[in-house]
Amino acid sequence: MKFPNHQQLKDIDLVTVDVFDTLLQRKPISENRRLLNAVRSLCLHPDLKPYGLDPGVVLQLRIQAKRYAYRTLAIAAPEREITLDGLLAGPARLLGMPDGAETLWATLEVDQDAQSVRVNRKLCAALRQIKTLGKRVVALSDTYYSKPQIARLLEGTGCLGVVDDIHTSADLGFTKRGGQAFLRVAEREGVSLRCIIHIGDDVWADGVQAAKHGIQVFVTPQPNYKIALHKLDGGLFSAQRVIKNKLTSLSDSAGYNNHQQPLSKGDIGQQILGPITAEYCLWLWLYLASIPQPENTVALFCARGGLRMRRVFATVLERLGLSVPVRTEDFMVSRLVAARTALVRGSRYACAELAREHKHASLATVARALSSVPLVFGEYWNRPFSPEIFFESLDRDPAGIALRQDLSLQSDLFGRHLDAVAQGTGRLLLCDTGLFASTQRLLEEGMPERHWESVLFARANYKGFATPHFARATGLMVERNFYHPLWIKSIVLRYWHIVEALFEPELPSVKSFHVATDGGVVSNLEFNGWETCLDGAGDSWFAGTLEYLEDLRAGDIPKILADSEAAWRHLRRLILFPRRSDVALMAVDHRSMDFGRDSQVGTWPAKTVAGRFRWRELRESLWREGYIALACPRLNTLFQIAWESAYILRPALALMLRRR
């Protein structure tokens, strides 16, 4: 490790030293293993033992809480830092722990961390020598630990006296990685940045960012073998949990019987989609609870699917006795509405999106889709739509001018609706099903002055396009571009329409706005009694889902996670290897293609005949495994295994092609 010599220390007033992997060297123990050990101690603690906490459940919530806390921070304030107590408050509240339990939990994590590090004796000796020269030495760490927590850690390892003070990004509110932490320390210590030497291991945070401020840096990166050992332990820990879950899955399969088979769509909702929806609501609550400034945030549940998502979210929170972390609102929006707003701003992206959605359509066809009023278009508008000529067409004739005026009017009315639901808040979270977050991208084009982000059931770049907006879009259940056999939740990407069919009610897509008699702005969706359409009626997936959710009670978090884990396995079997009897229960009704189009699409082509296989029909089917079961009843298992094998081999084939 590199240390400053006497000559380099001559004009120096302050030496700052990183803590982890510098002053303290980590043993090859992965973070998740440390967290599990701390969780086990927490569950066995006398104050919490009566609560009967399951270490596996607590760990799962702890891991998700960290993911969401840093995710929300990276979107809104990447230069800032979280605190450990704040991170643990959400999981502790979900599990019904007593007040102050997060402080105990944090202490146990610090104590566990102390057992997984060893003192860098050479550096400690060098720092003591530096202190004899009259130089002040302080610790500076990018961490969610506070000063007292780092002090406890250093005391536990016997090197607390090496430093004169401790500064952490959690206390400073800024990080070394963002560069602001060095400015704050210099201010607090009352020294010039050029009179500071910093010692650390991270090339970017401890080296580049410190040097930018004129600080002398001594950076010694961790050896590759240490990094590899740390990753190896993390891999082994993950493998152990995967094997344990697989054994549980096999045990569940061995005990599976016909009485547990769903016999109706309501059964599918109650047994499968209900637990999965409840899990989604837990993660959404944890995400919203992680937002740094909840008073400046509103969660906008986007029509149509988001309207039911808000309904189930409220139901779950009510049953579990949880309060809503941020204000929530119904948001009347669609890709068409967002595209209009972007077009008013002259967005080329919105034009390109229209061209992709309306392939081979004429200018008149696209114009009619965009217009909220009937317009008559002349011969000129019969030419093929293209972004290059669309904006020119808006000023060409009376129809184009009328279309431009209508776009502007509808955009203004939508802006008034947004103002009514936002109520001046700065952070706008779009809650929707997914996948590509097209609505967010279009709204960013049309209203760049607003802070937009998306919280989706699943996020995937299935289009293969550029995704700059993904930095502000989060998939709570899935964040993968394609289905992968090793990631069970990615199964929804094989049959995404099951998620949309579950949440989207029988309501029209939002196409236009008008001013109501009371002066407010309402959409075409908001007809008299539209809210009743959100209820699940009869034997439906959503009715069964609500039945499961309404049976939940406070303290049912472990039940939800256990039920959801089994439900994902069951859903995977139904999607990948459906029996003939499953096909009718899993098929979705014809659904609107949206974006101003009146056409609809079904699970498979309209001309599909049971017992007759056609390759074209297979390619056009939304649920190809279901089509195989329908068209090839005798050979469906063989075809389905072959189809799944292709997905298993696809990553290996893609890797081989890249190496070529």
Compute the average pLDDT of residues 615-642: 78
Query: Residue 17 gets which letter from DSSP?
Result: E
Check residue 593 and give its pLDDT: 65
Is residue 249 scored above 60 in pLDDT? no
Residue 72 CA to residue 601 CA, distance in Å, equals 36
Query: Residue 484 gets which letter from DSSP?
Result: B
Strand residues in 205-256 grouped as ranges (E): 216-219
CB 327 within 8 A of CB 390: no
Query: Residue 503 gets which letter from DSSP?
Result: H
Tell me the sheet residues that pair with 594: 597
Is residue 268 scored above 60 in pLDDT? yes
Is residue 99 scored above 60 in pLDDT? yes
For residue 89, give both structure tokens.
């408050």
Query: How many other CB atoms are found less than 10 A from the CB of residue 123?
Result: 22
Interacting residues of 463 by C-beta distance below 8 A, sequence separation 6+: 436
**Per-residue pLDDT band at 78 (split at 50, 70, 90):** confident
Written as one string, the DSSP assignment of 592-627 is EEETTEEEEE-SS-TT--TT---HHHHHH-SSHHHH
CB 407 within 8 A of CB 344: yes
Tell me the chain's radius of gyration from C-alpha atoms: 29
**Which residue is it, tokens 């989609």?**
273
Check residue 257 and give its pLDDT: 45
Compute the average pLDDT of residues 200-206: 94
| Long-range pairs for 58-65: beta carbons < 8 A, 24 or more residues apart | 58/91, 58/95, 59/32, 59/35, 60/561, 61/90, 61/91, 61/94, 61/95, 61/286, 61/557, 62/35, 62/88, 62/91, 63/32, 63/35, 64/283, 64/286, 65/90, 65/91, 65/286, 65/290
Compute the average pLDDT of residues 426-440: 93
For residues 638 and 521, which has the higher predicted lDDT (pLDDT)?
A: 521
Compute the average pLDDT of residues 108-135: 92
The sign one gets for the Cα dihedral 432, 436, 440, 443 is: negative
Of 80-89, 321-330, 354-363, minimum mean pLDDT range: 354-363
Compute the average pLDDT of residues 167-173: 94
pTM score, two decimals?
0.90
Check residue 283 and give its pLDDT: 97
Is residue 633 scored above 80 in pLDDT? no
Check residue 209 and give its pLDDT: 95
Closest by CA to 91, choosing from 57, 49, 44, 46, is: 57
Check residue 124 and give its pLDDT: 93
For residue 195, give both structure tokens.
């009179």
Is residue 172 scored above 50 in pLDDT? yes
Check residue 259 and give its pLDDT: 44
CB 291 within 8 A of CB 325: yes
User: Over the stretch 577-626, which tens digit does the pLDDT of each residue have?
Assistant: 888 888 888 888 776 667 766 666 777 787 777 777 787 888 888 888 88
Query: How many other CB atoms are found less than 10 A from the CB of residue 488?
Result: 17
> CA dist 580 to 149, 164, 585, 641, Å?
59, 73, 10, 15
Is residue 659 scored above 70 in pLDDT? no
Residue 83 CA to residue 81 CA, distance in Å, equals 7
Q: For residue 93, how far is the Cα from the chain centroid?
A: 21
Check residue 641 and give its pLDDT: 76
Backbone φ and ψ of 300, nearest 5°? -100, 110
Q: Read off the amino acid at residue 103.
A: T
User: Over the stretch 470-521, which tens digit does the pLDDT of each residue have?
Assistant: 999 999 999 999 888 888 999 999 999 999 999 999 899 999 999 998 889 9
Check residue 252 and give its pLDDT: 54
Is residue 162 scored above 80 in pLDDT? yes
Is residue 309 scored above 80 in pLDDT? yes
User: Over the stretch 446-464, which tens digit does the pLDDT of each residue have?
Assistant: 999 999 999 999 999 988 8
Check residue 311 and give its pLDDT: 95
For residue 285, give both structure tokens.
């609550």
Percent of the chain residues past pLDDT 70, beyond the cut:
93
Check residue 329 and give its pLDDT: 96
Q: Read off the amino acid at residue 430.
A: L
Biggest alpha carbon–alpha carbon distance for the chain: 90
For residues 243 and 20, which has the higher predicted lDDT (pLDDT)?
A: 20
Q: How many helices (H) and strands (E) does the chain have?
A: 26, 16
Is residue 98 scored above 80 in pLDDT? yes
Residue 583 CA to residue 608 CA, distance in Å, equals 13
User: Over the stretch 513-567, which tens digit does the pLDDT of each residue have?
Assistant: 999 988 899 999 999 989 988 887 776 899 999 999 999 999 899 999 999 999 9
Residue 373 CA to residue 377 CA, distance in Å, equals 12
User: Over the stretch 391-416, which tens digit does the pLDDT of each residue have?
Assistant: 888 888 888 899 999 999 999 999 99
Query: Residue 478 gets which letter from DSSP?
Result: E
Mean pLDDT of the chain: 88
CATH number for the domain whose boundaries are 14-27+120-222: 3.40.50.1000
Query: Residue 281 gets which letter from DSSP?
Result: H
Check residue 251 and give its pLDDT: 57
Check residue 459 and give its pLDDT: 95
Q: Read off the amino acid at residue 304.
A: R
The domain spans of the chain are 14-27+120-222, 31-114
Check residue 604 and give its pLDDT: 76
Is residue 247 scored above 80 in pLDDT? no
Is residue 431 scored above 80 in pLDDT? yes
Could you tell me whether strands 591-594 and 597-601 are parallel, antiparallel, or unpaired per DSSP bridges?
A: antiparallel
Backbone φ and ψ of 368, nearest 5°? -65, -35
Interacting residues of 398 by C-beta distance below 8 A, sequence separation 6+: none
Which 3 state secondary structure label does DSSP give 78? coil
Check residue 502 and give its pLDDT: 93
Check residue 660 and give its pLDDT: 52
Strand residues in 28-180 grouped as ranges (E): 117-119, 136-141, 165-168
